[in-house]
Amino acid sequence: MTTNRPDQDEIKAAVSVSDMARLVGLSRQRFHELMKVGVFPRPQRDKPSGRPFYDAEGQQRCLEVRRRNCGVNGRVVLFYARRQAASANPLPAKPRPPATDRHLDILNGVRALGLGTATAAQVAAAVKELYPKGPNGAEPGEVIRAVFLKIRGKNSGEKVGRKH
C-alpha cells in the first residue's frame, strides 16, 4: 500500500513558505491565497529576522490539508491534480537558441567570406527570405554562400571581397 504522505525523512526542521508551497504542489501565489483565507495554517516567524517558516509540525499540518482536501478552518477545498516534476517528463523540451544565436554559424561563415560588417539581423532576414521554411536539409556551405550573396547584393555600396 502506497500513500501520498511524505516519509519522515522528507520533513525538515524548518522550510520556507515557498518550499512549503512546493511540497504541497501549489504555486506560491495560490498557497498564499489559501493561507490568507485560513485553508493552510500561517507560518511561524523567526524572531531575529522576522522571516516566515514552517516547522515540522506546520509542515505535517499543511500536508494533511492537501491530503484530506480540508483546510485547518474546516473549509473543503478542491485542488487541481499535482503538476509533474520536470524530471518526470520523459521527453524534455528541446532548448531553442536565442534569436541572435540561431544563425551564428551562418553569420560566422558570411563574415569569414569577407562581409565583416554583416549583422545577425541581416543574416536572419536573408535566411528568412531565402528559406521561408528554414534551411533544413540544405548543405551548410550552400546556405552560407546564398546568404553571403544575398547580403552582398543588398550592400552593393560596400566593396566586399573585391580587389581595387
Between 56 and 84, name the one with better pLDDT: 56
Q: pTM of the predicted model, to two decimals?
A: 0.46
- pLDDT of residue 95 exceeding 90, the answer is no
Cell triple for 117: 560588417
Burial environment of residue 136 by CB neighbours within 10 A (0 to 12, 13 to 18, 19 or more): exposed
Considering the segment(s) 10-85 as one domain, its CATH architecture is Orthogonal Bundle (1.10)
Q: pLDDT tens for residues 112-130? A: 888 888 888 898 889 889 9
Q: With cut-offs at 50, 70 and 90, classify the pLDDT of residue 64.
A: very high
Most confident of 61-75, 111-125, 129-143: 61-75
Domain ranges of the chain: 10-85, 104-153
Residues forming a β-bridge with 54: 15
Neighbours of 162 (CB within 10 A): 8
Burial 85-121 (b: 16+ CB within 10 A, else e): eeeeeeeeeeeeeeeeebbeebbebbbebebeebebe
> Strands 44-45 and 14-15, how do they pair?
unpaired
- Across the range 143-149, mean pLDDT stands at 91
